[in-house]
């Protein structure tokens, strides 16, 4: 048995939330009524369990810290600090370079969401090859316009081509309901 060869991926704040939801004690794909996001939640959990190369760029970390609901903010904050890798601060990455790339995306590629372009610029400057997002408009407008591969978690999971016998990087405690479930196992 060997570990999966994977790549470091940035995830946007929505994907961070979907992963946190999938890790929840009460998460069960069969009960997930959002048919569009269900495969993304399951894929994020599998990516976490088998590759653990998910990272939060500074803007994602800041978005988590701005969550208004205290309980939700605390769970996201602890989760991001313990589960997600971080890639530093904007200053350590090169604030001017990030701003120039962000402005280029905004100006030249028709995507007007400042935060999306900021996250993409930080991902590129941090030299992470993938940015996982479920934002179809973001993917459609900027895919192929940067060296970063913008991709949905379910598509990235398929690209990994995980084979039977691949060793998971984490063991779930026997008291966690996911331990006895097969939806995430290879």
What confidence score (pLDDT) does residue 67 get? 92
- Which range has the worst mean pLDDT, 6-10, 61-65, 140-144? 6-10
DSSP string, 55-115: EE-HHHHHHHHT-SSHHHHHHHHHHHHHTSEE---HHHH-HHHHHHHHHHHHHHSS---HH
pLDDT beyond 80 at 6: no
Do the beta carbons of residue 132 and residue 153 sit within 8 Å? yes
List pLDDT tens digits, range 90-106.
Answer: 666 688 889 998 998 88
Q: Say if pTM beats, i.e. exceeds, 0.85.
A: yes
Predicted confidence band of residue 133 (pLDDT cuts 50, 70, 90)? very high
Classified by CATH at the fold level, domain 9-180 comes out as Rossmann fold (3.40.50)
Predicted confidence band of residue 184 (pLDDT cuts 50, 70, 90)? confident
pLDDT beyond 90 at 172: no
List pLDDT tens digits, range 59-94.
Answer: 999 999 999 999 999 988 888 888 887 776 666 668
pLDDT beyond 70 at 169: yes
Backbone angles phi, psi at 57, to 5 degrees: -80, 165
Q: Alpha-carbon distance 26 to 22, whole Å? A: 9
What confidence score (pLDDT) does residue 119 get? 94
Predicted confidence band of residue 162 (pLDDT cuts 50, 70, 90)? confident
What confidence score (pLDDT) does residue 1 get? 42
């Amino acid at each position: 048995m060997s570990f999966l060869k994977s790549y470091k991926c940035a995830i946007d704040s929505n994907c961070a939330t979907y992963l946190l939801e999938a890790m929840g004690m009460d998460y069960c794909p069969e009960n997930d009524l959002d048919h569009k996001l269900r495969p993304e939640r399951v894929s994020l959990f599998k990516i976490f369990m088998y590759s653990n190369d998910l990272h939060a760029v500074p803007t994602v970390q800041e978005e988590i810290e701005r969550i208004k609901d205290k309980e939700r903010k605390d769970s996201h904050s602890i989760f991001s600090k313990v589960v997600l890798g971080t890639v530093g601060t904007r200053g350590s990455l090169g604030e001017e370079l990030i701003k120039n790339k962000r402005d280029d995306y905004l100006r030249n590629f028709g995507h007007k969401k400042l935060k999306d372009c900021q996250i993409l610029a930080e991902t590129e400057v941090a030299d992470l090859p993938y940015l996982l997002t479920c934002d179809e408009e973001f993917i459609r407008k900027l895919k192929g316009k940067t060296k970063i591969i913008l991709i949905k978690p379910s598509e990235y999971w398929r690209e990994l081509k995980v084979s039977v016998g691949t060793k998971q990087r984490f063991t779930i405690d026997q008291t966690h309901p996911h331990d006895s479930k097969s939806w995430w196992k290879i």
